[in-house]
Amino acid sequence: MLGAPVARQLRADGYRVRVISRNSDNAKHAFGPEYEFATADLQDIESLRRALAGSDAVHINASGHSQRSYYANHVRGTQNILAALSGERIECISMISTALAYPEFADRWDNRYKMEAEALLKDSGLPYLVFMPSWFMETLPLFIQKGKLVHIGPSTQPIHWVAAEDYAVEVSRALADPEVRNRRIPIYGPESMTMSDAMAAYARQYGLKIQRMPSWLAKAVGFVSRDEMLMDVADLMQHYDRAGEKSVTGSVRTHTTLAEWLGRQPLVTPT
């Protein structure tokens, strides 16, 4: 979801872009003929070595949906990518992190593992960038279940929502500037809005009903149904309600508001 806008922005800005995924056929269908494609697995160093050969820069867009997958993808995956890049002349290696990748938020495993991945980049000796965006507007459709927008937890903390296209512009801009290296780049949207208010706006836009679910109940349902993703989302919502969003001076501010984003998005329901 977040790698595609970056790839498209880099291509639009004149870069030769190689999309590396576990399924090149799916990637070719999604992106079209203007890109290069390679197949690799984050847990297979040799496949990564073949896929990354000849690269000038690498952008890591790893994700996860459970404590186990976050560790495998962010920490072990980053270790494997760095091992695969041994001998390559890399101008910059970058990664997507999170606006909550700070020690005070390390009780949440994705924050902790993203900080570990960041430390690996720093220790590698390669020029690096760590992008730290706030919550993406593109996640809102993921809360649609059976025609309703499922609101988990009270969600009363303000969030500076970011549009993925704006984020992609900032990634491309930073990679293009050789003076912008070896730093963390927090990326916040232009306005703060609680998850509750954002969901209400999304529901109004598409005529959806909102179904509320306490975080503890979402966790329980996820546990009984063995739905790791639901348990992870419920834990994330609880974490945001406790921690809120860190106020950071010098953060990059994007320009697209939620209302503007909603005005140009078709209704997309998760499959």
Q: Write the DSSP assignment of 175-209 as a string of letters.
A: HH-TTS-SEEEEEE-SSEEEHHHHHHHHHHHHTPE
pLDDT at 253: 96
Separation between Cα atoms, residue 78 and residue 161, nearest integer Å: 27
Separation between Cα atoms, residue 106 and residue 103, nearest integer Å: 5
Cβ atoms 115, 106 nearer than 8 A: yes
Q: From residue 227, how far is each of 13, 56, 230 by CA, in Å?
A: 40, 39, 6
Separation between Cα atoms, residue 213 and residue 146, nearest integer Å: 14
Q: What are phi and psi of 18, to 5 degrees?
A: -110, 120
Instruction: Identify which of 59, 82, 255, 89 has the alpha carbon closest to the alpha carbon of residue 171.
Output: 59
Token pair in block for residue 179: 């003076």
pLDDT at 265: 74
Name, in order, each residue with C-beta under 8 angstroms of 15's C-beta and a sequence gap of 6 or more: 172
pLDDT at 16: 96
pLDDT at 72: 95
pLDDT tens for the 271 residues of the chain, in order: 789 999 999 999 999 999 999 998 899 999 989 999 999 999 999 999 999 999 999 999 998 888 899 999 999 999 999 999 999 999 999 999 999 999 999 999 899 999 999 999 999 999 999 999 999 999 999 999 889 999 998 888 999 999 999 999 999 999 999 999 999 999 999 999 999 999 999 999 999 999 999 888 888 988 888 888 888 888 888 888 888 888 888 899 999 999 999 998 776 665 5
| DSSP per position, 19-78 | EEES-HHHHHHHH-TTSEEEE--TT-HHHHHHHHTT-SEEEE----SSHHHHIIIIIIHH
Q: What are phi and psi of 200, to 5 degrees?
A: -60, -40
Q: Using the structure block, give the residue that is written with the tokens 């998005």.
A: 265
